[in-house]
Amino acid sequence: MKAASRALAKALKLDPDELGARLGAKRFAWVKRQAKPAEVAAVKALALPGMGFSKEPKRFYPQRELGAHVVGTVGMDGRGLEGLELAFQDELSGQNSSTSGFRDAKGRKLLVQGALDPLQRQGAAVTLTLDRHLQYVAEKALSRAVEDAKAVAGMAVVLDPRTGELLAVANHPRFNPNTPESSSRSGMRNRAALDTFEPGSTLKAFVVAAAMEEKAITADSLFFCENGAWRVGRHTINDTHSYGWLTPQGILQKSSNICMAKIAQAMGREKFVKGYQAFGFAERTGLSLPGEGRGVLPFPKAEVSLATQSFGQGMTATAVQIAAAYGALANDGVLMRPYLVSKVVDPDGVVLLENRPTELRRAVSAKVARQVVGMLESVVAKGGTAVKAAMEDYRVAGKTGTAQKADPVARGYSDKRIASFVGVVPAESPRAVILVVVDEPKTDVYGGTVAAPAFKEIATAAMAHLAVPPSRTVAPEVAVAAESPRLPRRSRGRMPPAPPGRHWRTR
């Protein structure tokens, strides 16, 4: 037995002690599942007594890494482990069938009664909204952004704001579902669709939109940004630079945390939370994927909580939620339900599931949505935080995000960051919302530097692939009037210098 175990282990590259224990404990035991043809030939050449061979099906993925996190993979028994393989396990598997018959002493089939119905053995066909070309471009651009930033991971989403269709959902690191053993279970997870994180300043656009919708502010309102530091209770809110008086457009362009917190104060807590909810935060998008996060939006009882949530900290969302919310701004204020599966059809042609463009609600009026999209064009103009996202032939509206990552052990925030950029293109007649998220970048922490170039690469390919005509006017002078040269007659005054304590700095 020991000699046979050692010979088998050498041929199959297995641990001889573990294999020997397994073979000695049972009358029947699998030596190796899903063995390769060369391994089977090597075992047969040993001519060991008591060895048997059985063919079993194995799932093959011709696209390899492309869209692998969305498609998912199956285990040794053919059952789904992740992605759509898990979500549509029953539909994809088909029906089990059995026949009766006899075998001879060598196990050969004799007198098999009845034939298997090929339709029974087939599974259903699942059609996705993903565009193969855009998925490829998004994965390549995301991988390059993550590797250049020496980051640990990344996510990218491309969404059609008019329909809610997800045209690309990319994750990095990538994995090959044909060799799942080479990746960890967490590495196979579709984080862009399932996992939640604190987004940071990309959410500022929704606070401005909700405040304008509630008439708490207007496009001409002025807020004093405290020259870079503002004390809220025992905490201090910081901006990356010292700013004075800014309009809502200037607040978005410069990404001022302090003035954004003041806009949240002007709204009030109830309307503030209601505004986020109108854009779909804290509710699952319903992608038909098990394990999808819904995000957390705690009611901001404390003043500092209201302030931090106004710039996307102290709350969580998924990448798809953020893209869908920007889709609402791009779709004249109407939030569409994002979807990934177009339809599921069984072998008989019966449609088991079909998704169509579905309006969820009006988040803000068309006028407000267009105003905010116009303000976001200043972010990619000179003086904004994402000049690297500007395109030569198309107008771009977008927002950067640089969020602090929570430390669950220390129950605070670490020095690690999540850098992101989300853009709408063309800004005057949106055809795509593109979000790029880079997790824990090392070379630079700002979304305008780390994520914006990947957005531009994806957007350039998307506009060409979708045959979108160039914008009639490019790079409008939206940077003017971002800062007011005068002070209003009645100002809120400047707070005293901030004492030591917890500081928040994002953009």
Percentages helix, strand, coil for the chain (3-state, rounded to 5) are 35, 20, 45
Residue 383's alpha-carbon distances to 202, 251, 262, 313, 379, in angstroms, are 17, 12, 22, 24, 8
Q: Which residue has the tokens 């030591």?
A: 500
Is the separation of the CB atoms in 283 and 256 below 8 Å?
no
Rounded CA-CA distance 96/332 in Å is 49
Per annotation, catalytic residue among 143, 201, 310, 378: 201
Rounded CA-CA distance 14/26 in Å is 18
Q: Which residues contact 187 (CB under 8 A, 6 or more apart)?
A: 173, 175
Residue 74's alpha-carbon distances to 58, 61, 171, 185, 292, in angstroms, are 9, 11, 19, 11, 19
201 is catalytic: yes
Task: Give the pair of three-digit tokens for residue 327.
Answer: 């889709």
350 DSSP β-pair partners: none
- Least Cα distance to 72 among 167, 187, 160, 161 occurs for 187
Is the separation of the CB atoms in 438 and 450 below 8 Å?
yes
Rounded CA-CA distance 312/484 in Å is 26
Q: Other CB atoms closer than 10 Å to residue 457's CB: what's the count?
A: 19
Handedness of CA 31, 33, 36, 40 (dihedral sign): positive
Rounded CA-CA distance 367/168 in Å is 29
Q: Which residues of 273-297 are buried (b: 16+ CB within 10 A; e: fewer)?
A: bebbebbbbbeebebbbeebbebeb
Indicate which residues carry an active-site annotation.
Answer: 201
